[in-house]
Amino acid sequence: MSQHLKIIINQFLADRDRWVLWLPVFVGLGVGSYFSLNSEPPAWTGILIVLAAGLTVYFRRQNFIVLCGGVVIIAIAIGFSAAQWRTLTVAHPVLQKRIGPTTISGRILQVENFENGPRITLEKIHLAFLAPYEMPQQARLKLRGNQPDFAPGQWIKVRGVLTPPPAPVMPGSFDFQRRFYFMEIGATGFGMGKATIIQRSDTGASNIPISTAVNLFIAELRHEMAEKIRRAIPGAIGGVAAALMTGDRSGIPKSVLEAFRQSGLAHLLAISGLHIGLVAGLLFGGIRTIFALIPAVALRQPIKKWAAFLAILGAFAYAVMAGATVPTQRAFLMISLVLMAVIVDRQGISLRLVAWAALAILLLRPESLLGASFQLSFAAVIALIAAYEFLKERNIEQDRTVWWRRPVRYIAGIALTTIIATAATSPFAIYHFNQLAQFGLFANVLAVPVTALWIMPWAIVSFLLLPLGLAEFGLIPMGWGVELIITIAQTIAGWKGAVVIVPALPVSALVAVGIGGLWLCLWRQKWRLGGAGLVVLGFSSVFFVSSPDIVVEERGKLFAVKGSSGTLHLSSQRVSKFAGETWLRRVGQSDQTRQNWPKQGFSQDKSLTCDRLGCIFLQKGHKVALITDSQAVPEDCQSADIVVSAVPVPWHCPSAELVIDWFDLWRHGAHAIWLRQEGVLVENVNGKRGHRPWVLRPREKEK
């Protein structure tokens, strides 16, 4: 055995108390491997692997290597099976084609009141022309204009249009169909005109299942509370206050939301560890203080344990009111375990708590692994706990005899926490949002103390006063603090260079960075430094990834080409605006650097020539015809070596080595093309996603 191998084995054995931390990592690898498949595997795949690996471990348990390998395979297979099972259990009808305009009726599950009108989620939907087995279980509708005061539980009808959930706007971009599939939303659309409330809430009806009645009751309570908060504190301040108390961010103006993102304060609006921790901590300290003031109780009863138990109940109530998103679930699970440790006289927060919280979420909601909420929240928490464990092991002494050192240490702690959390979450923020806030450290040093010391205590007071009808006595002072953090966010977001737009990381780079970061944080011995190399390797892969030279939207209504300067030219600034903005963001280009597409004549770099029938794009030795009118097909088919057409191409193109026409876009979705001297690389949305239950394909639509 070589010396290096002996060192690795010794390091591995010395870290045996950390082995359990890798259990959710391997489960997560199983979940990720399921979602990375190009086609749906047989339902028995994961279970069969678990049984085979389990039998191997049982009969060869004396062999340490076989035992470890078998446990790893079992964990991966369990994650794979959990994802498979979740996909099967949420299966539901998905609308296959556009319906409407027609009358849409159903019961409201959720109401979100935005600036330009409410967005509602309906269940128990009724549509003409659809059989019951084709009817979506839930649909999301955007309404405009003057609408009634909606509330969860109401039955409404409205004339509108429903469409299938949208596909990604380019290969590798966010998959709305997958997201809506696991949200059990089978259609999206918009209303035309004013909706009519045909029946008020029937939450208390005896024929409604208990689970549905509970969900409607909670949704109605959240909506009512958010409306009361916004009435007590109008404007953006009330919208932010409602978001902090109920998780409903629909009342926050877009400009304010953007300011929070650009200043690095967006995490304050997502109910996560900071909020749940503050609520639980304040309740624990306050209840324990009240009990301590009663000598008969304080001297005879375990008031610390009582306070911990009541704080768990309070944190649970807050988590439910906040919508129980993935960060909220993770935070509640961790805080509950910390407080349970107080009750049973055990150690508080540790990486083991994070591991069990992650494992619970992965088994119950495996699809959350792919979301920004899961990745950002767990990356931040793991990095913070590992970093503070490292500092604690170094036994850094603090001089507490000088009064001013305590506030200085508090501010320094916020700064250090922000630096660690930003470093840990930056790769995931780049992958999902393609932007970084440069002044997030400064913004957090100013805003977090205001949130922790003023806003959240008054939020708890408001919750307690709400049943008495006196919530305004807590909401008004809470609003003063909210106004201050809005001012901080808007001021810092207005600084020059506040946001850096960066190209999207490839999935392989994100996986390498994630595993490298886990290796660095979960082990204690020196071999953990090898994780830093994997992180560097993941980031370095960015230099080997190039943005596409041509992108075309699935309906052929929007084209983009990369000019000689490396910037994208968009064919329109109004058509498919969301797709165009996504394309620009994913290549690291802000809207301000958008190049104009010539309607007639040449582009600035002479690579693009356009007329009313389409354009000719010359790049890297290729002549590409971008056709928008069928009259251009005969001529371009005789001269271009690549034809991309928004209309059908009914005959063979003798000069073209590649033809992508309307039928290809209809079948496979948006296309991306890379032009190279040695050839052409083409990717399309459906080809990249494969045949999965959430992927809608034209043949299915035809049926």
Q: Which of 172-176, 421-425, 533-537 has the lowest mean pLDDT?
A: 421-425
Least confident of 40-49, 55-64, 672-681: 55-64
Using DSSP, state whether 626 is helix, strand or coil: strand
Residue 394 has what pLDDT? 66
| Domain ranges (residues) in the chain | 3-89, 99-202, 507-544, 550-702
> What's the pLDDT tens digit per position in 109-128?
888 888 788 999 998 898 88
Decide: 446 and 525 in contact? Cβ < 8 Å.
no
Give the pLDDT mean for 581-600: 78
CA distances from 692 to 38, 131, 390 (A): 7, 23, 43
* DSSP structure string for 664-683: HHHHH-SEEEEEETTEEEEE
C-beta separation of 148 from 194 below 8 A: yes
Strands 679-684 and 601-602: what pairing? unpaired
Which of 545, 619, 636, 524 lies closest to 587 in space, CA to CA?
545
Q: How many CB atoms lie under 10 A from the CB of residue 224? A: 14
Q: How many Å apart are CA 122 and CA 125, to the nearest integer?
A: 7
pLDDT at 344 over 90: no
Asked if 46 and 80 touch (Cβ cutoff 8 Å), the reply is yes
Percent of the chain with pLDDT over 90: 32
Mean pLDDT of 78-94: 94
Rounded to an integer, what distance in angstroms lies between the CA atom of residue 691 and that of residue 82?
19
Mean pLDDT of 649-669: 89
Query: From CA 468, how far away is CA 466, in angstroms rounded?
Result: 5
Query: Does the bond joining 698 to the residue before it have cis omega, within 30 degrees of 0?
Result: no
Please, how many CA atoms are within 13 Å of residue 155, restricted to the half-sphere of its CB? Answer: 9
Angle at which helix 235-246 crosses helix 210-232, to 10 degrees, equals 150
Please tell me the predicted confidence (pLDDT) of residue 659: 92
Q: Report pLDDT for 569.
A: 85
Please state at what angle helix 472-493 crosses helix 210-232, rounded to 10 degrees. 80
pLDDT digits (tens, 9 = 90+) for 562-571: 888 778 888 8
Sheet of 568-570: strand order equals: 568-570, 559-562, 550-552, 671-676, 679-684
**Cβ atoms of 630 and 614 closer than 8 Å:** no
Distance of CA 482 to the CA centre of its chain: 25
Q: How far apart are CA 50 and CA 79, in angstroms?
A: 10
**pLDDT at 403 (0 to 100):** 56
- Residues 249 and 265 sit within 8 Å (Cβ to Cβ): no
Average pLDDT, integer, range 174-190: 93
Residue 37 has pLDDT above 90, yes or no: yes
Cα distance between residue 129 and residue 594, in whole Å: 44
In terms of DSSP H, where are the helices of 394-503?
405-433, 440-450, 456-465, 472-493
Residue 543 has pLDDT above 80, yes or no: no
What is the crossing angle of helices 235-246 and 254-263, to 10°? 60
Of all residues in the chain, the percent with pLDDT exceeding 70 is 94
**pLDDT of the residue at 592:** 58
Residues 126-147: what's their mean pLDDT? 88
Phi, psi of 91 (to 5 degrees): -55, 135
Average pLDDT over all residues of the chain: 86
**What is the structure's pLDDT at 573?**
82
Q: Max alpha carbon distance in the chain (Å)? A: 96
CA 569 to chain centre: 29
Count CB atoms within 10 A of the CB of residue 207: 6
Measured between alpha carbons, how far is 69 from 74 in angstroms, rounded to an integer?
9
Name which CATH class applies to 99-202.
mainly beta
Q: Tell me how far apart the alpha carbons of residues 298 and 25 are, in angstroms, rounded to a whole number.
A: 44
Task: Look at residue 700 and tell me whether its pLDDT is greater than 50.
Answer: no
Residue 435, φ and ψ in degrees, nearest 5: -155, 155
The stretch 393-397 carries a mean pLDDT of 60
What is the rounded distance in angstroms from the CA atom of residue 417 to the CA atom of residue 613?
A: 57
- Among the residue ranges 141-145, 234-238, 601-605, 634-638, the one predicted with the least confidence is 601-605
Band of pLDDT at residue 702, cut at 50, 70 and 90? very low
Overall average pLDDT of the 278-284 stretch: 85
- Whether the per-residue pLDDT at 400 is higher than 60: the answer is no
Do residues 145 and 193 make contact, with C-beta atoms less than 8 angstroms apart? yes
Q: Average of pLDDT values for 298-319?
A: 88
Q: Which of 264-273, 343-352, 538-547, 648-657 has the highest mean pLDDT?
A: 648-657
Q: What mean pLDDT comes out for the span 50-77?
A: 87
Confidence at 616, pLDDT banded by 50, 70, 90: very high
Nearest to 279 by CA among 247, 239, 232: 247
Q: How far apart are CA 696 and CA 180, in angstroms?
A: 12
82 touches 35 (CB < 8 A) = no
Q: What type of residue is 6?
A: K
Question: Which stretch of 158-162, 227-231, 697-701 has the lowest confidence by average pLDDT?
Answer: 697-701
